[in-house]
Structure 1
């Protein structure tokens, strides 16, 4: 319970620390990037003479000119008219109806005359009857207005004359209405109808006017304005106009030119006047920095590692962020891990693309971003899992080749002719960038390791050198312990690799884990060669104090020689709080009162997977070495017994070693031991 609360509090502290550190870094980076959005502006007024040529620093749409061009295109669209044949048929039908009414009334009039009715009454009755028939038509056709006199004059004609007039009017109307007529054409069309009717010789002079009036009133437009289709074409014409833009690098005003209202408007639109604030670019940079730092925050929040390591790694990542090209990726991989190195490489490439963009280039200088990204990824692949200086130099040469390849690609794609001196300069720059990254990595690595107390793979390889003073001390003063440590290192390394733990750390830590035995080497069985065991002459309590002390003694010696914290922890924790059973049994045999807690190592218990595995390998190697005839079955049973015993004793309670991983560790140790103690052929004397 207490351990869970402690872990929660540590995680909470790291969250606050990471938020503060990342926020501070974001503010600093935002300040560095302000120059990108704070472009040069000019203090100008209308009708002032420009003292220099001014170019636009960005591409922006000129909405005013765009709208003017769209209005012009819309005004050029001709109205759309549609010719309708039904109009001619309809108007002819009306003309036919009018004269049919006249003929019907005329026939009634003739019948009434035969009955010798008074002529005046007959005429009045006929006009009224005709007026009733025309009422509906006159309501629909306001221009069709016939006076009573005109109706009477028409009815005064005989039936044959009316039939001829009807034929002429319908024919003339049909001929004229078959043409496309608009409102502007009606005056001429009416004149043409009147002319043709007068020349037809079928209309008596006394009724020419009413007949012509009827024909003229029935003339209408045959081409009707289509409002919907016209609006659609106007919209198409407006949409076809491309937005008018002021392009990056475009000269807005030339030197010596008068800044009229139009030029001033364009300068204002391009954001080149001092009375304008660049809010959008500032917001864009703030958003970019926020997203970038959020990625860092998420990386460290999801990374399963101790708060101390994460704090140091976060600071290193933000410091190394300031370094160029492949240097940052190589340093972070060597100091932290490959995942953070790749994340940082991508973010550095994007940031460099923005910060190093040219004045008239796009928002991101893509060739710079890709140049840095490809070089960084190449260095990560070439470094691999072996971090010797020769590997770093090899990776730096690979980066140089990658840089050369990318520059060659860029120069070929630009299709520009370059002088030989320019090509040599680019080649030297590419090679120097790669080699310098490797050289600076080697030079800066010790500085970061010392400053942040980090243990890199390169440092571990250096510590594994048999010529190291402490390893020489173990070899010369406690040779049996040295051999035991090498065996433990092989077991621990193999087991760590199977579960993804740091095998190199386990191997090197195993070399130093029993350094404390050099204080009293003869009190440990592996250093006794056919001589009396000094513990035989000592009481159990004294013996257990000597044995238990080797963990603390080793940690003190390592701290005295400024060894990394991880190596010191391995020496102090590799026995955890395990019980010295041998001396407990011995004390009981002598009849002493035994308090088991007094016969336990002070701990703490293993805090990491690597230390837990070393503790298993340490116990297993000593136990197997004491077996007279080790076989595969015996070894497997012994390993399972030791692991189960430590598990029941709670030695793995404070590390993140799962049961599944523990089983895999067992199998790896058994396989390694079976390889060490395989059966050999018995050769004859």
Structure 2
């Protein structure tokens, strides 16, 4: 057990990657549809692209949603509504009418008008035949109504036969006008307002129950297809009926996979494919981006972004698949290019699109559009810290989306008559969402501790607190750093390295000299050399310690690790030759390691460039009467010694690239020393 724990501890980084691999695979598979995927793509009104399709099993033809809705509406309209009637209310109203009529309705002689009384009775009979509703109900006039008295059916009627509380006034006025008693309308209506009460009320529970019984009679299918029946032939246009049959087959196929033991096989198949995809990513990192592979934070960052894009896309598809193109998938290569490089960004983007092919509808079209857009993103986006570049690139990406989608539409439809401009709007929204990459990069920098070109641009400002402090405490070192930065940037541009990164690294590589600035030649303005009072070993220790001091200062000021790497490696494991030779004159058995920088050696093109430029620029101050041949020989000598001591063995830099850097340094030094052709007197 102890051996197992020790082995696990020694390989904890690999164990973490294995755990990350399996957890990401599980999460992605969890988001995938839990059923078989119908292997045919089809659209109504378009030709069938595959071979002749025969029914693989017996299945029912499902009605379309439009058909089902039409049947529901028809049955709902035909199903009766039930109302309860209270007959005692009508009797009470007639009794109240008899009692109050003589008090309210009188003529000019104050005599009883029997005819008017009888007309009032007739109007009440009409109003209560079949009854007065307690409120306004939203039913059609010809809606069938069943009247219930004490839960027993009394009679049937139409909804238009009933009187509403709002309509009895107009009915009364019309009847009185026909009888020639219109002058009594206000008085009789006032009486009716006092005595009339509704006697018909909707029986909600019984009505809903009857409606539901009718809806339950609806069959979700219309006919069936027997096994072996030809469904559609190759090249045949898919009409509405064939489309419904194909949708029924698709639904039946997927539901069968869901309900049978094949479900487990689907999950297993998804797991295998997702695992293979993520494994390809890990193998790519291990072979071509070892520094990323060894950094668990960066690997986690890559896996997290891939999962995030799959999660967002799945979320949108579950809501409404037509909005799938709103997801700014091109953010993925943009982010990876900002923090890593274009090759890794494109590779991860393509793998993500392949995984999304299991989720999205019209997967081939979607994958083609997204891969093309990803390639355009990688090719067009440069210097992301420049806002104009981002806007231009996003515009180009959006244009590519629109052009590619238009081409697919024409291929499918054969014309542009029914072009859906709403999809173009979705592409524009996608482009606007892609602009969110700037704040997203900032968030990722803070969460994962990564560095992008935007941060490097901020750090390259010489007005930052740390560089201002360097210029005040060690002005000679600050000037040296500026010169090295210019040389390193030009060299990086020459071989295609990250010029912004190497410039920032050059600006900060000697900040450790702030601790003891006067012990370094470039800061000795008084002509007094403090090393004269120290032994060679003590002097060498102070010189070597500026690397350690620089790392401490950088960490204290929260400089990114990528910048600290330049401080750590700019002298590699080289010797402090001057003090080593001085001490060797006194002690032949001197240990070299006491005069050697702790390292490590440069492990990237950028750190190797800085080492060359730093050594050349520092030593160039000792050149007397510089000339072009002297400078050439001088550069060759310094870089040659570094190569002989194996300082660049860990860096992925080629001999050809070193030769190019030498050429740049020779030209730049010649310009610094203002060398010109000597003209004859």
TM-score of the two chains, using structure 2 as the length reference:
0.60
Indicate whether 1:572 and 2:568 are aligned: yes
Return the offset for 1:455.
Answer: 2.3
Q: Given the alignment, which residue of 53, 59, 64 partners 2:228?
A: 64
Q: Given the alignment, which residue of 294, 317, 324 partners 2:302?
A: 317
Return the offset for 1:386.
Answer: 5.0
Asked whether the 8 Å contact 1:551–1:571 carries over to 2, the reply is yes
Between 1:552-561 and 1:319-328, the stretch displaced more is 319-328
Q: Which residue pairs with 1:53 in the alignment?
A: 220
The structure with the larger Rg is 1
Return the offset for 1:554.
Answer: 1.0
Return the offset for 1:561.
Answer: 0.8
Q: Which residue pairs with 1:605 in the alignment?
A: 601
Task: Output one character per residue of 1:433-492: Cα deviation in whole Å (capped at 9) or x when no partner.
Answer: 1121122x1111122223322222222222212222222222233222122112222333
Indicate whether 1:398 and 2:383 are aligned: no
Q: Given the alignment, which residue of 364, 381, 384 partners 1:366?
A: 364
Q: Return the alpha-carbon distance in structure 1 between the equivalents of residues 668 and 225 of structure 2.
A: 72
Q: Return the alpha-carbon distance in structure 2 between the equivalents of residues 612 and 492 of structure 1.
A: 10
What is the DSSP-based 3-state SS (H/G/I as helix, E as strand, rest coil) of the residue aligned with 1:250? helix
Asked whether the 8 Å contact 1:577–1:600 carries over to 2, the reply is yes
Q: Return the alpha-carbon distance in structure 1 between the equivalents of residues 533 and 609 of structure 2.
A: 34
Q: Which residue pairs with 2:625 in the alignment?
A: 629
Q: Given the alignment, which residue of 333, 341, 347 partners 1:343?
A: 347
Q: Which residue pairs with 2:429 in the alignment?
A: 432
Indicate whether 1:250 and 2:244 are aligned: yes
Q: Which residue pairs with 2:277 in the alignment?
A: 292
Q: Return the alpha-carbon distance in structure 2 between the equivalents of residues 334 and 11 of structure 1.
A: 32
Instruction: Call closer, same or farther: CA 1:351–1:579 in 2, change over 3 Å.
Output: closer
Matches of residues 205-354 of structure 1 in structure 2 within 5 Å? Answer: 249-251=243-245, 276-278=260-262, 282=267, 285-286=270-271, 288-306=273-291, 311-321=296-306, 322-323=308-309, 324=327, 325-354=329-358
Instruction: Call closer, same or farther: CA 1:405–1:649 in 2, change over 3 Å.
Output: closer
Indicate whether 1:471 and 2:467 are aligned: yes
Asked whether the 8 Å contact 1:493–1:506 carries over to 2, the reply is yes
What is the DSSP-based 3-state SS (H/G/I as helix, E as strand, rest coil) of the residue aligned with 1:643? helix
Q: Return the alpha-carbon distance in structure 1 between the equivalents of residues 541 and 447 of structure 2.
A: 37
Return the offset for 1:599.
Answer: 2.6
Return the offset for 1:270.
Answer: 7.7
Asked whether the 8 Å contact 2:292–2:298 carries over to 1, the reply is no
Q: Return the alpha-carbon distance in structure 1 between the equivalents of residues 468 and 381 of structure 2.
A: 30
Q: Which residue pairs with 1:375 in the alignment?
A: 373
RMSD of the TM alignment (CA)? 4.4
What is the DSSP-based 3-state SS (H/G/I as helix, E as strand, rest coil) of the residue aligned with 1:306? helix
Instruction: Call closer, same or farther: CA 1:350–1:668 in 2, change over 3 Å.
Output: same
Q: Which residue pairs with 1:641 in the alignment?
A: 637
Task: Output one character per residue of 1:66-89: Cα deviation in whole Å (capped at 9) or x when no partner.
Answer: 69x9xxxxxxxxxxxxxxxxxxxx
Q: Return the alpha-carbon distance in structure 2 between the equivalents of residues 535 and 385 of structure 1.
A: 45
Q: Return the alpha-carbon distance in structure 1 between the equivalents of residues 270 and 587 of structure 2.
A: 78
Task: Output one character per residue of 1:153-203: Cα deviation in whole Å (capped at 9) or x when no partner.
Answer: xxxxxxxxxxxxxxxxxxxxxxxxxxxxxxxxxxxxxxxxxxxxxxxxxxx
Q: Return the alpha-carbon distance in structure 2 between the equivalents of residues 343 and 274 of structure 1.
A: 33
Q: Which residue pairs with 1:546 in the alignment?
A: 542
What is the DSSP-based 3-state SS (H/G/I as helix, E as strand, rest coil) of the residue aligned with 2:228? helix
Q: Which residue pairs with 1:165 in the alignment?
A: none
Task: Output one character per residue of 1:596-621: Cα deviation in whole Å (capped at 9) or x when no partner.
Answer: 43233233333434323322221111
What is the DSSP-based 3-state SS (H/G/I as helix, E as strand, rest coil) of the residue aligned with 1:37? coil
Asked whether the 8 Å contact 2:550–2:567 carries over to 1, the reply is yes
Q: Return the alpha-carbon distance in structure 1 between the equivalents of residues 508 and 225 of structure 2.
A: 70
- Unaligned runs of at least 5 residues, structure 1: 1-8, 70-238, 255-262, 358-363
Indicate whether 1:22 and 2:21 are aligned: yes
Asked whether the 8 Å contact 1:398–1:434 carries over to 2, the reply is no
Q: Which residue pairs with 2:476 in the alignment?
A: 480
Instruction: Call closer, same or farther: CA 1:64–1:632 in 2, change over 3 Å.
Output: same
- Unaligned runs of at least 5 residues, structure 2: 1-7, 39-57, 63-215, 310-326
Asked whether the 8 Å contact 2:285–2:292 carries over to 1, the reply is no
Q: Return the alpha-carbon distance in structure 2 between the equivalents of residues 11 and 677 of structure 1.
A: 53
Instruction: Call closer, same or farther: CA 1:267–1:472 in 2, change over 3 Å.
Output: closer
Instruction: Call closer, same or farther: CA 1:455–1:275 in 2, change over 3 Å.
Output: closer
Task: Output one character per residue of 1:33-57: Cα deviation in whole Å (capped at 9) or x when no partner.
Answer: 1345389xxxx999x998443599x
Instruction: Call closer, same or farther: CA 1:624–1:316 in 2, change over 3 Å.
Output: same
Return the offset for 1:565.
Answer: 1.1
Q: Given the alignment, which residue of 484, 503, 522 partners 2:499?
A: 503
Q: Return the alpha-carbon distance in structure 2 between the equivalents of residues 610 and 673 of structure 1.
A: 20
Q: Given the alignment, which residue of 496, 519, 522 partners 2:518?
A: 522
Instruction: Call closer, same or farther: CA 1:544–1:297 in 2, change over 3 Å.
Output: closer
Instruction: Call closer, same or farther: CA 1:551–1:252 in 2, change over 3 Å.
Output: closer
Q: Return the alpha-carbon distance in structure 1 between the equivalents of residues 278 and 586 of structure 2.
A: 66
Q: Return the alpha-carbon distance in structure 1 between the equivalents of residues 410 and 59 of structure 2.
A: 45
Instruction: Call closer, same or farther: CA 1:400–1:270 in 2, change over 3 Å.
Output: closer
Q: Return the alpha-carbon distance in structure 1 between the equivalents of residues 624 and 643 of structure 2.
A: 26
Q: How many residues align?
A: 476
Query: Whose helix fraction is larger, Structure 1's or Structure 2's?
Result: 1
Q: Return the alpha-carbon distance in structure 2 between the equivalents of residues 386 and 274 of structure 1.
A: 47
